[in-house]
Amino acid sequence: MTVQPSPTQPSLPWRLSSTAVIGFVGGLSRVFMYGTNRPEVHGLDRFRALLDEREDPRSRKRGLITVSNHISVIDDPFIWGSLPFRYGFNPDNMRWTLGSYDICFKNKITSTIFNLGQVLPTHRLKHSVHGGLFQPTMSEAIRLLSDCPSAAEKSAIVRRDEQKASKSLSSPDLADPFSNPSMTYSTNGEDVFPAPSGYTSRRYAWIHVFPEGLVNQHPQRIMRYFKWGVGRLILEADECPDIVPIWIEGNEKIMAEDRGFPRPVPRLGQKLGIWFGENVAGQRESVFQDLRQKWKRLVQKEEESGRGSGHPDELSEELKYGKEAVQLRIEAAKRVREAVLEVRRRRGLPNEDPGASLAETWKVEGGASGNGRNPDGSIVKGM
């Protein structure tokens, strides 16, 4: 089996189309943000400096994860309207994010638009048997946060693709018609999506996640617990990513979940706030170093025993569901949440109840019936 060198970037038509979509949406978000509302943005210069350091993919040494609270359906892409226009016209240095498969990818038109907009198709376990922590899109996200696939991993990818090629390549939902059709992956064994991690221009990419997993509009601005997928991203990327916590406010007023008629129309003239925190990982992996070392030892133990590898697509049962592996993901997610809480505190909000960080505190996924409020005054909507 011959493993071909990784291509540098997608085809020119794909790059032009992606630049047009991201640039247009980013520009529109900026105009809407500054032209019709009253925003204040803190820490942007520091964040821009980090993005500028990462502009050349060849010089990157690690990926970038940004995490924030999730208060509105417009949070992404609206918060990136805080960036000057030029950032939107360089997709190689713009964010990737996770989007609900049943909302963003329900037909060929929306699927193409969201693919061009650098959104990864993610199944929600509540709505699909293909959802969960170990779905293929999570593996793709981990690879995006890493260097280009190694020769061994590329061989594994080739073997996997050969096994399902007859089904995948005949799918009508091929999302990147301009690129090499072998640079694809499937989320359910039937669909086909472009695999951006295969291009060297996407090495050590930037991924934004909303670890709450749901839109949460709480009157005291309390966050839900962070789901453990963010722990996978931190532990399994080949280098510890830079991690920038962000706190956002005001979008819940623009698109309140309990808004009345006319429901599709955003409410203008709102006071908005975006606070960019400091990079909590940095050069020395200070916050997550101990967790990543434990994960590496766990992977090494599994590989030496012959039970499985540490490749994102080929985790052993122990690496998926073993007690130590689960606890490492939980702890990583808690530390990320604490980083966002620190930005929240610096913004001036009081400390929240410590129980809010625990999964068992949030028994019900989603809010009250319809657009009603929960007993604590919050509105939670599955996304």
Q: Is the pLDDT of residue 366 over 60?
A: no
List Cβ<8 Å contacts ≥24 apart for 129-137.
130/101, 130/187, 130/188, 133/228, 133/229, 133/232, 133/320, 133/329, 134/315, 134/320, 135/187, 136/185, 136/186, 136/187, 136/313, 137/98, 137/187
Contacts by 97-104 with C-beta closer than 8 Å and gap 24+? Answer: 97/207, 97/208, 97/209, 98/122, 98/137, 98/141, 98/207, 98/209, 100/124, 100/127, 100/383, 101/128, 101/130, 101/187, 102/127, 102/128, 103/383
Q: What does the pLDDT read at residue 1?
A: 46
Mean pLDDT of 81-86: 97
Confidence of residue 283 (pLDDT cuts 50, 70, 90): low
For CA atoms 200, 204, 207, 212, the dihedral sign is: positive
And the tokens for 209?
Answer: 């996640």
Answer yes or no: is pLDDT of 258 > 80. yes
- 81 pLDDT more than 70: yes
Residue with the bigger pLDDT between 63 and 364: it is: 63
Burial of 281 (0-12, 13-18, 19+ CB in 10 A): buried
Question: What pLDDT, on the 0 to 100 scale, is given for residue 169?
Answer: 39
Mean pLDDT of 84-101: 96
Tens of pLDDT, residue by residue over 133-177, are 999 999 999 999 999 764 445 544 554 545 544 444 333 343 444
Summarize the confidence of residues 76-96 as an average pLDDT.
Answer: 96
pLDDT over 90 percentage in the chain: 72
Q: What is the mean pLDDT of the chain?
A: 87
**pLDDT in the model for residue 371:** 47
Predicted confidence (pLDDT) at residue 57 exceeds the cutoff of 90: yes
Higher-pLDDT residue of 159 and 4 is 4
Task: Quote the percentage of the chain above a pLDDT of 70.
Answer: 85
Averaged pLDDT for residues 210-217? 94
In the predicted structure, residue 284 carries a pLDDT above the cut 90: no
Comparing C-alpha atoms, which of 169, 243, 208 is closest to residue 70?
208
Structure confidence by residue, pLDDT tens digits, 290-345: 999 999 999 999 999 888 777 888 899 999 999 999 999 999 999 999 999 999 99
Q: What is the pLDDT of residue 4?
A: 57
Is the model's pLDDT at 193 over the cut of 70? yes
Domain ranges of the chain: 12-276
pLDDT in tens, 259-275: 999 998 999 999 999 99
Are residues 128 and 65 in contact, defined by beta-carbon separation less than 8 angstroms? no
Tell me what pLDDT residue 375 has.
67
Whole-number pLDDT of residue 307: 82
For the domain 12-276, what is the CATH code?
Answer: 3.40.1130
The torsion of the CA quartet 165, 171, 174, 178, rounded to 10 degrees, works out to: 70
Which band of pLDDT confidence, cut at 50, 70 and 90, is reported for residue 249?
A: very high
Write down the pLDDT at residue 356. 81
pLDDT band at residue 281, thresholds of 50, 70 and 90?
Answer: confident
